[in-house]
Structure 1
């Protein structure tokens, strides 16, 4: 058995029950899957039974093992293996659904890229539990942050289930979790990049009030005026405000700030 490499964040998923639950969580209307970090190919093996799959692997040793293991699937076209860093090499000309046991060290970046990619129709991914909770959190939850709002803009992000360290070889030191998002884009005309920058201001100091955070970048008079019009209490903290209200505040600031 190949030894896991720490620099690639390798923890090989071996639990068949967990593998089955991931497969069952994939919506029925998808047939083209992108997988990142296939490891020893246990999830890949389940995916190629029902889907056309492209898997990205950064580890040259694992790439060779996978090439041998899936020689038949590579030949018949149900699987394509790509060697390289997915953050640098990934591109897709056709719509896809992302299914992956993501390496912890790139998980947040990969999910954010998937949210921004119009070719991505959604995902079922395994991540560190705390990351999964951040993307699937609702207003009022202690984990609620800009990540949850960015996910909500693209669809409904659900936290499906925990995965114990014993499901992996070697076992990680943290609990993992599987999340699912099926895209149903809200506010399609909203400038995602500009809105993301606005959210960074909103959550710059999560323990401070949203009003305080906003007035670090906008005039107190302007923010006060918008709070009055939207009937917002000045002592609200960012995690206490609903997703759609952030969009309203942003649109009001953009419109009125432009006038000034």
Structure 2
């Protein structure tokens, strides 16, 4: 079989390390959920997933679709595996969810859209657990805690929508072909499916973290009336000197509610 060349435009790095593949499988939650994989590549992880559960995979690259269709012809015929040839973000846009029942997202994500994919998975009510390989630096932002210098809007959102979030392990560049220039990490998020964030909450966080090293009050005073902001700080007992990464996720949520209610009244 001719060697498949990874395409830069799709952010392709094919995971080849069997130890890593096995560790991903071992970290799968013990439940009856369907599995959704994004960017199956040459099917190395897929091959392991379909042994355990019915799987749906989304692949954008036409050249890989042919390879995957022949590699998994038996599983496709037995309806244990469905391969969908589309851009996954388009699929979310059109259908609202990547699967009609409860599912877990397990994938080696292309770096360039990994953040977007995880945020969309947070919004997808059918997605319960997320086990994804992404750039270590990005994984640390999702799993950061208040006080950590990496704590940003991504960390706040993750804290609010999850029951549990942690980094499982790192994956070195040499586990891939071609090797990326950075270390990857496996991020595990167990979602709290009862939580739905207001669509304007992300805009509020964007303002909060607009200048991460400045005081939060300074960032917010450019979009909120100073006196109104001062009242919120007093009501919630927030120190005026705090920087954005020093404020907890639940405080951000409470602040947003007060800002929203105040705007309705005003």
- How many residues align structurally? 258
- Structure 2 CA distance for partners of 1:200 and 1:184, relative to 1, 3 Å: same
Tell me, in whole angstroms, the C-alpha distance in 2 between the residues paired with 1:43 and 1:33: 12
State whether structure 2 residue 47 is matched by structure 1 residue 54: no
- Matches for 1:1-260 after TM superposition, within 5 Å: 1-90=3-92, 91-155=98-162, 156-185=164-193, 188=195, 191-260=197-266
Tell me, in whole angstroms, the C-alpha distance in 2 between the residues paired with 1:185 and 1:140: 26
Runs of 4+ with deviation above 4 angstroms: none
Tell me, in whole angstroms, the C-alpha distance in 2 between the residues paired with 1:254 and 1:8: 39
Tell me, in whole angstroms, the C-alpha distance in 2 between the residues paired with 1:96 and 1:104: 22
What secondary structure does 1:48 align onto? helix
Shift of 1:25: 1.2
Tell me, in whole angstroms, the C-alpha distance in 1 between the residues paired with 2:257 and 2:88: 34
Q: Conserved in 2, the CA contact under 8 Å of 1:63 and 1:83?
A: yes
What secondary structure does 1:46 align onto? helix
What secondary structure does 2:257 align onto? helix
Shift of 1:31: 3.4
Q: Conserved in 2, the CA contact under 8 Å of 1:12 and 1:168?
A: yes
Q: Deviations over 1:85-136 (max 9, x none)?
A: 1111244222211000000111011001000111111210000111111111
Tell me, in whole angstroms, the C-alpha distance in 2 between the residues paired with 1:134 and 1:55: 26
**TM-score normalised over the length of structure 1:** 0.96
Q: Conserved in 2, the CA contact under 8 Å of 1:157 and 1:181?
A: yes
**TM-score normalised over the length of structure 2:** 0.93
Q: Deviations over 1:124-179 (max 9, x none)?
A: 00001111111111101111111111112211221111100010011000000100
Q: Conserved in 2, the CA contact under 8 Å of 1:153 and 1:185?
A: no
Unaligned runs of 5+ in 2: 93-97
Tell me, in whole angstroms, the C-alpha distance in 2 between the residues paired with 1:117 and 1:124: 15
Q: Conserved in 2, the CA contact under 8 Å of 1:31 and 1:50?
A: no
Unaligned runs of 5+ in 1: none
What secondary structure does 2:239 align onto? coil
